[in-house]
Each structure stands twice: as C-alpha cells, then as structure tokens.
Chains A and B, each alone.
Chain A
Amino acid sequence: MKVVILGCGRVGATLATQLDQVGHSVSIIDSSSDAFQRLSSKFRGNKIIGNGAQEDVLRRAGIETADAFAAVTNGDNRNILASQIAKEIFHIKKVVCRIYDPLRQRTFDELGLEAICPTTVVADMLFDSLSGIR
C-alpha cells in the first residue's frame, strides 16, 4: 500500500516508521526539515518539505497514486483542509485525520471525514484507568 502522511511530529514520525517497517511505501510531508530527525534512521520512505495544504506539494509526495492519506499536523484546521483536498480533489479512498477539538471532530465526522480525536480517546483511557482505583 502507498501512504502519504502529512505532519512529521511524534505521531506522524511513529506512524511513518511503523508503516515503513511492515513494507508499505510511505511519503511524509512536513514544513520543516528538522522534523524528519524524528524518523527512524532505517526509514526508507520519501521525505517532502512543504506546506501540505497545497496541491502541488501533495502531488510531489505522490498523492495521485496513493492508496491512503493521513493528516496529523498539530493544526486541526490544516488537517481538515488537507484531508478534504485528498478526498475531493485526488479521490483518495482512505483518508484519516487527527482533530484535537472534540466538537470539531464530531462535525466533520458527520460531514463524512474519518477523524480521530486524541482528546476524547486519551481522556477515556485515563478515566478508565482512574476508575479502577478505589
């Protein structure tokens, strides 16, 4: 599978490394070249510097032939814009994005965007963990 990832923060870099290790072809985009230092030294995928909310940058990352796209920059709105470009302009079948704001996540989920909200996911886990304590 060919995957394009936008954002090489901790989550993006970890995801890219994992996918690369199991044999997928990965391109990762970030606006800063420093961010790529987070990748494993064994990472074989493409690293693209640029603003991933721009079509030409996504093209350089090979989005036209990608099977999946993940937007994990630290900006909710940037992820939302880039994901919708991937879906509507490049017709990528599998698009998933991270949205920190729970209300925003719910709205875009209803609009058909597959979005994961780490805020609620982590809060639920912490809640469960703490609920086990008497």
Chain B
Amino acid sequence: MYIIIGGGGDVGYYLTRSLLHQGHEVLLLEKGHERYQSLSDELGQSVLKGDACEARIMDEAGAQRADVVIAVTGEDEDNLVICQMAKKRFKVARTIARLNNPKHEALFQKLGIDVTVSPTKAILSLIETELPGPRFVQLMTLKKAGLEILEMSIPSLSPVIGKELNQINLPRRCNLVLILRDNEPIFPTSDTTLQANDDIYALVTREAEEELRTIFGTA
C-alpha cells in the first residue's frame, strides 16, 4: 500500500517507522525545517519537506495514487483539512485523523473522515480502568455499529444485586457479554445471579448507555 502521513511529530515518526517495517511504501510530510532535517537523516527518502494541508505538496507527494492518508499533527483543524483535501481533491479511499479534542469526533465522522483516533480519550479510559472504586469505563467504541463496549463494577448498593439476569429489565439494544467475579470469567446466562463488585462487560448502543447505567446503579 502507498500511505501518506501528515505531521512528523512523535506519532508521525513512529508510525512511519512501523509502516515501513511492515513493508508499505510510506511518505511522511513535515513542514518544519529543523524537524524535517532530523527526520530525513534517519528516514531518508521517506520524508518530504512540506505542509500536508497544501494541495501543491500533496500533489508532489503523489496523493492521487495514495491508498491511505493519515493526519497526525497536533492540531485538529490541520488534521481535518488534510483528510478533507485528500478525499475531495485526490480521491483517496481511506483517511485517518488523529483527534486531540475528543469532542470533535462526531463532526469528523459527519464530514466523511473514515477513521478517527483519539489518544486523549484512550488515555482517559486506560487510567479510569486502573482507578479503584465504583467504575464505569467506555473501553471501546465500535463506530460503524454505533456500539460501545463498557466495563462497570456493580456498586455495593446496586438494585441488581442478588437478582438473576432474567429478572432484570435490560435495555433492548444491549448484551452482557462477560462477568468477572474475583478474576474468574463467567459467561452470563439468563439464570446467572449478580453480586456486588462483579465486573460487568456490556455491549450497548450509545442511546441505551444511560438506561443501562441507571439499572445497574452506576449512573
């Protein structure tokens, strides 16, 4: 595959290296002169000096034949423009943008960016997973399906304690996929009884998330 990467910060650098290692043809674009120099000392022909937001540079980079364009600068506005220009002007099939502000996720999707990656959101949920106490963590978003994978521990005062799953009125678009009790995995069935401090892993639509949390007392 031919992959163009916009933005030669740490993310762009390590991404370029790992994609090259996987055997892809990669071109990294970096506009800053000094940063370009040090990148090109190491990556040679795989770096081009220029601003990936500029059509002229993307043309020079051969964006017409790129299979993927990945924008990983530190600015969301730049990443948006790189991806939109790639899609509209160069008909690139797949565009991937790094999001620094997780709130921009919905907008980027609406504007046709194929994939968004939000390190801020990922780091937050990783840290939340490690924090003690009653928990509610969005582990992962399945964007195309509009689903979330949630982890929550059942608080000691939750209304579901001691109930079997078939006695609980779960939201329609929701599936409890796993219960972790004292680090033992339990694949839940309708007669599984819930206990305090069980870790619940659920697959749920975004709309039903709030309802699920209310039922489990983690809202």
The stretch of A28-36, A39-47, A81-89, A116-124 that contacts the partner chain: A81-89
B103 contacts A54, CB within 8 Å? yes
How many Cβ-Cβ contacts under 8 Å join chain A to chain B? 53
CB-nearest residue of chain B to A101: B54
Proximity string of chain B (91-109) to chain A, C-beta cutoff 8 Å, 1 when within and 0 when not: 0000000000101101100
Query: With a CB–CB cut-off of 8 A, which chain B residues contact A55?
Result: 103
Query: With a CB–CB cut-off of 8 A, which chain A residues contact B107?
Result: 84-85, 88-89
Query: With a CB–CB cut-off of 8 A, which chain A residues contact B54?
Result: 101, 103-104
Known contacts A53-B76, A84-B107; A104 and B88 CB within 8 A of each other: no
Query: With a CB–CB cut-off of 8 A, which chain A residues contact B80?
Result: 77, 80-81, 84
B56 contacts A84, CB within 8 Å? no
Chain A interface residue count, Cβ-Cβ cutoff 8 angstroms: 20
Q: Is residue B157 within 8 Å, beta carbon to beta carbon, of the partner chain?
A: no
Q: Which one, A75, A88, A103, contacts B55 given CB within 8 A? A: A103
Query: With a CB–CB cut-off of 8 A, which chain A residues contact B103?
Result: 54-55
Q: Which one, B53, B106, B111, contacts A77 given CB within 8 A? A: B53
B56 contacts A104, CB within 8 Å? no
Proximity string of chain B (16-41) to chain A, C-beta cutoff 8 Å, 1 when within and 0 when not: 00000000000000000000000000
Q: Interface extent on B, as a size class?
A: 20 to 34
> Min CB distance, A97 to chain B, in Å?
12
Q: Is residue A78 within 8 Å, beta carbon to beta carbon, of the partner chain?
A: yes
Bound together, the chains give a CA A80 to CA B75 distance in angstroms of 13
Proximity string of chain B (38-67) to chain A, C-beta cutoff 8 Å, 1 when within and 0 when not: 000000000000000111100000000000
Told that A54-B101, A107-B88 touch, could you supply 16 new A-B pairs with CB distance under 8 A?
A76-B53, A77-B80, A77-B81, A78-B77, A81-B81, A81-B104, A84-B107, A85-B107, A101-B54, A103-B54, A104-B55, A104-B81, A104-B85, A107-B84, A107-B89, A111-B84
A: which residues have CB within 8 A of B? 53-55, 75-78, 80-81, 84-85, 88-89, 101, 103-104, 107-108, 110-111
Pull 28 A–B residue pairs with CB atoms less than 8 Å apart, ordered by A. A55-B103, A75-B77, A76-B53, A77-B53, A77-B80, A77-B81, A80-B77, A80-B80, A80-B81, A80-B84, A81-B76, A81-B80, A81-B81, A85-B107, A88-B107, A88-B111, A89-B106, A89-B107, A101-B53, A101-B54, A101-B55, A103-B55, A104-B81, A107-B84, A107-B85, A107-B88, A110-B88, A111-B88
